[in-house]
Amino acid sequence: MTVGFLGPKATFTEYAVKSIFSDQNRIPYASIHGCLDAVKNGDVSFGVVPIENTIEGSVTNTLDYLIHDHPLTIVGEIVVPIQQHLMVHPDHVEHLQEVETIYSHPHALAQCRKHLANHYKSAEQIQTLSTSAAAQLIANHPKQISAAIANELAAEVYGLSIVERDIQDYQNNHTRFIIVTNEQRNFPVESTSNVKTTLIITLPLDQAGALHQVLSAFAWRKINLTKIESRPMKTGLGNYLFIIDIDQALDQVLIPGAIAELQALGCGVISLGSYPIFEVK
C-alpha cells in the first residue's frame, strides 16, 4: 500500500503522513493537484494534503479539486501542531550569534516574526518554496553561517542541528490535513477520536437570508457545525458555495433529514465523507 502526499520530502505534510502511516511507502508529489490525481487514478491508495491553516500548500487548491474536479472521499483528518525550529549545519552550533541569513517558507517566517524581530533583528530573511527546501539549502552550503526554520523531520532528514525549539509566535497553531481515497477501502489505522462530516452546499440563489435558512435545518435539530466557509463557485463573483463541518457521523437519523430538507429547498448537497480525527502530539 502506498500513500501520496504534497511534497517535497520532510515538510509538515510528510510529518503528518509519517505520524499515521508509519510503515507504508510514501510518495511525494509536486502539487496538490498531482497528488489528488494520483489518488483518483489509483496510483496510490491514499493521499494526504493540507486543508486548513497550512504552510506548505493551499486550502484553495485542495477544496477546489474536491468541489470542481473530482469528489474523492475524505477518510480521515490529521491535526498537527505547528512547531517551528531554528536549525543550522552541525559545524555552526556554536556560531548562532553570527547567523546572517535565515531561510524558510514565507508563512513560516511570518509565524516566527516576533521571535525573529526580537532575537535576529539584523539577519536577512530569504524566502524558499517550502520549509524543507530551506533545510536542504543549509545542508548543501555547510560553509555559510545561515539558519533554516523548519520542522523536526527536516532536521533529521538533512542532518541539521536544532538550536532553538518552538520559535513560532502562537503556541496553539495547528495545520489540518485530510486523508483521501478514491474507493471504499478499509482504512488501516484505528482511531478512538470523534468523527466529523464535511458537506458542500450550494444555494439556489444569492438572496437575503438564504444561508440562514440553510443553517436553520441544522440548528433546530441541534446539529453542531464546527466550521463554515464560503467559497466562490467560479461561475463569477458573488456566487458562493458553503463548506460545512458537522461534529458527528453522517449515518445518523438527523443529518440525512436535514440534507433531504435542503435538497427540497433547491440546495445542492454533496458529502465529502464522515471520518475520524487523528491529533498528532
Cα–Cα distance, 67 to 71 (Å, whole number): 6
Candidates 40-48, 94-102, 166-174, 267-275 — which segment interacts with a second copy by CB under 8 A? Answer: 166-174
Closer to a second copy by Cβ: residue 27 or 79? 79
Cβ count within 10 A of residue 207 = 9
DSSP class of residue 128 equals: -
Candidates 140-148, 158-166, 167-175, 177-185 — which segment interacts with a second copy by CB under 8 A? Answer: 167-175
Vertex 157: Cα angle to 32 and 28 (nearest 5): 20
Cα–Cα distance, 81 to 172 (Å, whole number): 7
Cα–Cα distance, 147 to 86 (Å, whole number): 7
- The answer to whether the beta carbons of residues 276 and 195 sit under 8 Å apart is yes
Q: How far is the CB of 251 from a second copy (least distance, A)?
A: 19
Q: Which helix (H) or strand (E) holds 125?
A: strand 124-127
Instruction: List binders of a second copy among 2-61 (CB under 8 A).
Output: 30-33, 52-53, 58, 60-61
Contact status: 230 vs a second copy (CB under 8 A): yes
Contact status: 222 vs a second copy (CB under 8 A): yes
Cα–Cα distance, 188 to 185 (Å, whole number): 9
| Closest-CA residue to 280 (of 192, 174, 165, 162) | 174
Among 172, 184, 186, 192, binds a second copy (CB under 8 A): 172
Preceding omega of 8 cis (within 30 degrees of 0): yes
Candidates 93-101, 181-189, 196-204, 214-222 — which segment interacts with a second copy by CB under 8 A? Answer: 214-222
Instruction: List binders of a second copy among 59-118 (CB under 8 A).
Output: 60-61, 79, 106-107, 109-110, 113
**Which residue has 491553516 as its cell numbers?**
53
Contact status: 265 vs a second copy (CB under 8 A): no
Among 94, 184, 190, 208, binds a second copy (CB under 8 A): 208
Closer to a second copy by Cβ: residue 48 or 223? 223
Name the residues that contact a second copy, by CB under 8 A: 30-33, 52-53, 58, 60-61, 79, 106-107, 109-110, 113, 125, 127-129, 170, 172-174, 206-209, 211-213, 215-216, 218-219, 222-230, 232, 234-238, 240, 242
